[in-house]
Structure 1
Amino acid sequence: MEQVEFAGLFLVVLFFLLGTGVWVGLALVGVAFVGMALFTARPVGDAMITAMWSSASSWSLTALPLFIWMGEILFRTRLSEDMFKGLAPWMARLPGGLLHTNIVGCTIFAAVSGSSAATLTTVGKMTVPELKKRGYPERMVIGTLAGAATLGLMIPPSLTLIVYGVTINESITKLFMAGILPGLVLAAMFMAYLVIWAKLAKDYAPTPEPKISFAEKVAASRFLVPVILLIIAVIGSMYAGLATATEAAAIGVLGSLTLAALQGSLDAKSFLASLMGATRTSAMIALILCGAAFLSMAMGFTGLPRLLAEWIGSLGLSKFQLLMALLVFYIVLGCFLDGISSVVLTISIIEPMIRSVGIDVIWFGVFIVLVVEMAQITPPVGFNLFVMQGMTGHQMGFVAKAAFPMFLIMVAMVFVMILVPDLATWLPDHLTLAPG
């Protein structure tokens, strides 16, 4: 009975605190504090200090601010402009034309960013005006960009995968490897949708691009060289087992600083802006993780996760049924919470459930990132929708409708992963990895 009372109190206090505008991290601390004070005999202060310090001092967490800083540095360079110049000649002849630059550009930038918002903003600030100028339907410009930017959460380095790995004490490097193939398959599905739409749509009549020779296309590709080299340095060092995720993040920061300096876009103002932006984002995520660690400890003392896992086990759900229940659960949760908050808020309860039915935790990490991606483009708290609204000036309803086909493609991708689990597990199982 005590566990049921704690669960009820947990929901009431959490929604009250979130409804009053309290930061998510502080809301989690508040719920845990009240729960431990009422339902356990352990000194709350000691427990809170122990849990929060253990979370904040995790070595795996070191990669997080470094990857965020790398993305902030690249956001302030001419990277997106150069990417568009390099990609446009190759994309122009495909059905769907330059709309493919949104998807391919986001896929490439995701491999050096780790953030959905940074990917969306960086790629969008160059492609949106260029595509509108060329007469592409605005709903498709917005929809493809909002959907493809979510790849920043899956393709390594992924901030959400780092948070998931730290929370369940799993290898960040293995999780990064697991996200590669599903991310590329999802990008291919986005592009396939564009091809089909371009063949069937009646309002598809962009300004034709001038024909250029193969040699000119190759020459334009030189603009992609800096970002490709950075991807090789960051991701390749982990693939080859030469660096852990944290060491690869440090390589990425040094590489992005070098790239910015060579472009002439690195000055004291942009350097300080990138540092402060990374500090703010890192501090926000660290506070959420600390609050989640304290809440997990409080739940552990009440026995709520064990009770819930036993109840789920008593239902006799198969793997597929449990995954479908979690798919709906996270889609609904994502309508009200950002992705990282959704992960840290629930994983201490969800982890024993998935282990009890034999679901691979590495595979589940990619699954949970995929469903969290959907939350980025579902109202009312879809963060990518807010960014697109600010970038284009359209109403939220228009932006959400434009992104809805991409949401459906992500749902289809969930079933692809269930049918072909090796998409997420093959690389971690077959590549030599550095520990960590």
Structure 2
Amino acid sequence: MTDPMIALTLLALMIGLLAAGVWVAVALTLVGLAALVLFSSAPSGLILATTLWGHSHSWALTALPLFILMGEILLRSRMSDDMFTGLVPWLGRAPGRLLHVNVFGCAIFAAVSGSSAATAATIGRMSVPELTKRGYPESLILGTLAGSATLGLLIPPSIILIVYGVATEQSIARLFIAGILPGLMLISMFAGYVAVRAWMNPDLIPPIEESYTLREKLKASRRLIPVALLIGGVIGSIYAGLASPTDAAALGVVLAALLAWLSGSFSWKLFGEAVMSATRTSCMIALILLGAAFLSVAMGFTGLPRNLAIWIASMNLSVSTLLVALTIFFIVLGCFLDGISVIVLTTSIIMPMVTAVGIDPLWFGIYLVIVVEMSQITPPVGFNLFVIQGLTGIDILRVAKAAFPFFLLLLAGVVLITLFPQIVTVLPELMSR
């Protein structure tokens, strides 16, 4: 059987298993076993055992449950409410006014939670009722929330960047640093879109109901201090070279628990709920990563990735042509799978092709995360759409329609980092000198 036929057979098996409702981790493992048994002479049982054991104690992976726990603690504390209250006085006179609370609130919370779904749930719980009550248009409320919440995948500490780093053996610290400028670029694009919409149609935005003196603004800003301390402690320790991402994640959990307790809004019961929720999420991701690791090893024994890479190289595709094809592929795949599953399902196959045409794996990681962000707001399985539908009770197609302009902005972001790759690479290069 030829390599393309082998690839199509395994792909059909994967799609069939997922369509049948089999867990992603189990589907990955079964496809890996099928590849070994049918298309190689390697001992499948021995490889399965050694791979699962060898990949179950990755030190880099330790950061993942810690960052998830940090986000769960914040989700249950008063700090998220304080963040909203602290931003409102400063954004009341900006073009688009309080719609920017969604953009900047999501950006700030993304920097301390690392999760797109947690960002959408936390900020949406506060902003949607408040903005609706003040008369802001539904489409912009939902659109800014859905689009900006995707920043949780990119702005460090990003859970999905940790997954990519572990799956491709890239430096997680360098990936975190590489995500800073693209994250700021997307924040600026989202805020700019809101401002332009407000300038083009001033009637969309309700008039100012309250005005704040500088003294009142500064007083409200005190509520942002705990969040600033947390961001500074976690991200600053990584960028200053004082801590690895894993150490910084442990520091983040301690700081989040301490600040939540000092705010008077936290209890042992809430802490227990946070631990259990983080455990469930972490176990799900860890199982997916183990299945992906086994599939990757199995693919290596079949020789499929190497042969596909040679085939791609023989076609002499330009980098831009390959990226266009991959972008369409990832968007379609993201319509049916969550972001982490997309990355672990595809990296073992895609990375040899990517490196064969000379694409920097560090740059490709940021590109991949932005494309996965796009899939978070595409029906039928856009996770952010589900979260917002659950919060508001609004039909998911209406939420998707409101999020569509932000899908286009994310697509524009992909184009920009492709035309100007320095947006991604400049900071890691500076930090490595």
Letter in 2 for 1:53: W
Partner SS for 1:57: coil
Q: Following the alignment from structure 2 to structure 1, what is the Cα–Cα distance between the partners of residues 425 and 4?
A: 37
Q: Following the alignment from structure 1 to structure 2, what is the Cα–Cα distance between the partners of residues 419 and 110?
A: 26
Q: TM-score, normalised by structure 2?
A: 0.98
Q: Residue 234 of structure 1 contacts residue 249 of structure 1 at CA under 8 Å; is this kept in 2?
A: yes
Q: Following the alignment from structure 1 to structure 2, what is the Cα–Cα distance between the partners of residues 176 and 221?
A: 27
Letter in 2 for 1:72: E
In the TM superposition, what is the alpha-carbon distance from 1:266 to its structure 2 partner?
2.1
Q: Following the alignment from structure 2 to structure 1, what is the Cα–Cα distance between the partners of residues 165 and 276?
A: 25
Q: Following the alignment from structure 2 to structure 1, what is the Cα–Cα distance between the partners of residues 186 and 202?
A: 26
| Counterpart position of 2:36 | 36
| Counterpart position of 2:217 | 217
| Counterpart position of 2:149 | 149
| Counterpart position of 1:188 | 188
Moved more, 20-29 or 200-209: 200-209
| Counterpart position of 2:279 | 279
Q: Which runs of 5+ in 2 are unaligned?
A: none
Number of corresponding residues: 433
Q: Following the alignment from structure 2 to structure 1, what is the Cα–Cα distance between the partners of residues 137 and 5?
A: 53
Q: Following the alignment from structure 2 to structure 1, what is the Cα–Cα distance between the partners of residues 43 and 431?
A: 46
Q: Residue 9 of structure 1 contacts residue 35 of structure 1 at CA under 8 Å; is this kept in 2?
A: no
Partner SS for 1:381: coil
In the TM superposition, what is the alpha-carbon distance from 1:29 to its structure 2 partner?
0.6
Q: How does 1:366-381 map to 2 (within 5 A)?
A: 366-381=366-381
Q: Which runs of 5+ in 1 are unaligned?
A: none
Q: Following the alignment from structure 2 to structure 1, what is the Cα–Cα distance between the partners of residues 370 and 315?
A: 26
Q: Residue 135 of structure 1 contacts residue 207 of structure 1 at CA under 8 Å; is this kept in 2?
A: no
Q: Following the alignment from structure 1 to structure 2, what is the Cα–Cα distance between the partners of residues 358 and 42?
A: 31
| Counterpart position of 1:411 | 411
Q: TM-score, normalised by structure 1?
A: 0.97
Q: Residue 97 of structure 2 contacts residue 205 of structure 2 at CA under 8 Å; is this kept in 1?
A: no
Q: How does 1:337-356 map to 2 (within 5 A)?
A: 337-356=337-356
Q: Residue 40 of structure 1 contacts residue 301 of structure 1 at CA under 8 Å; is this kept in 2?
A: yes
Q: For residues 6-41 of structure 1, give each alpha carbon's deviation from its aligned partner in whole angstroms, at most 9, with x where no partner exists.
A: 323212221121111111011101111122122222
In the TM superposition, what is the alpha-carbon distance from 1:2 to its structure 2 partner?
4.8
| Counterpart position of 1:229 | 229
In the TM superposition, what is the alpha-carbon distance from 1:216 to its structure 2 partner?
1.2
| Counterpart position of 2:308 | 308
| Counterpart position of 1:172 | 172
Q: For residues 41-99 of structure 1, give each alpha carbon's deviation from its aligned partner in whole angstroms, at most 9, with x where no partner exists.
A: 22211111111222221111010000000000000001221111100011110110100
Q: Residue 103 of structure 2 contacts residue 144 of structure 2 at CA under 8 Å; is this kept in 1?
A: yes
Q: Residue 198 of structure 2 contacts residue 205 of structure 2 at CA under 8 Å; is this kept in 1?
A: no
Q: Residue 177 of structure 1 contacts residue 427 of structure 1 at CA under 8 Å; is this kept in 2?
A: yes
Q: For residues 87-122 of structure 1, give each alpha carbon's deviation from its aligned partner in whole angstroms, at most 9, with x where no partner exists.
A: 001111011010000000011011101100001111
Moved more, 130-139 or 210-219: 210-219
| Counterpart position of 1:115 | 115
Q: How does 1:24-103 map to 2 (within 5 A)?
A: 24-103=24-103
| Counterpart position of 1:288 | 288
Q: Following the alignment from structure 2 to structure 1, what is the Cα–Cα distance between the partners of residues 326 and 215?
A: 50
Q: Following the alignment from structure 1 to structure 2, what is the Cα–Cα distance between the partners of residues 282 and 208?
A: 44
Q: Residue 165 of structure 1 contacts residue 175 of structure 1 at CA under 8 Å; is this kept in 2?
A: yes
| Counterpart position of 2:326 | 326
> What is the CA RMSD across the aligned residues, in angstroms?
1.2
Partner SS for 2:55: helix
Q: For residues 388-421 of structure 1, give each alpha carbon's deviation from its aligned partner in whole angstroms, at most 9, with x where no partner exists.
A: 1111111111000000000000000011111221
Q: Residue 181 of structure 1 contacts residue 424 of structure 1 at CA under 8 Å; is this kept in 2?
A: yes
Q: Following the alignment from structure 1 to structure 2, what is the Cα–Cα distance between the partners of residues 134 and 338?
A: 34
Moved more, 37-46 or 365-374: 37-46
Q: Following the alignment from structure 2 to structure 1, what is the Cα–Cα distance between the partners of residues 100 and 45?
A: 53
Q: Following the alignment from structure 2 to structure 1, what is the Cα–Cα distance between the partners of residues 281 and 124?
A: 20
Q: 1:343 to 1:148 in 2, by over 3 A?
A: same
Q: Following the alignment from structure 1 to structure 2, what is the Cα–Cα distance between the partners of residues 65 and 118?
A: 14
Q: Following the alignment from structure 2 to structure 1, what is the Cα–Cα distance between the partners of residues 8 and 329?
A: 18
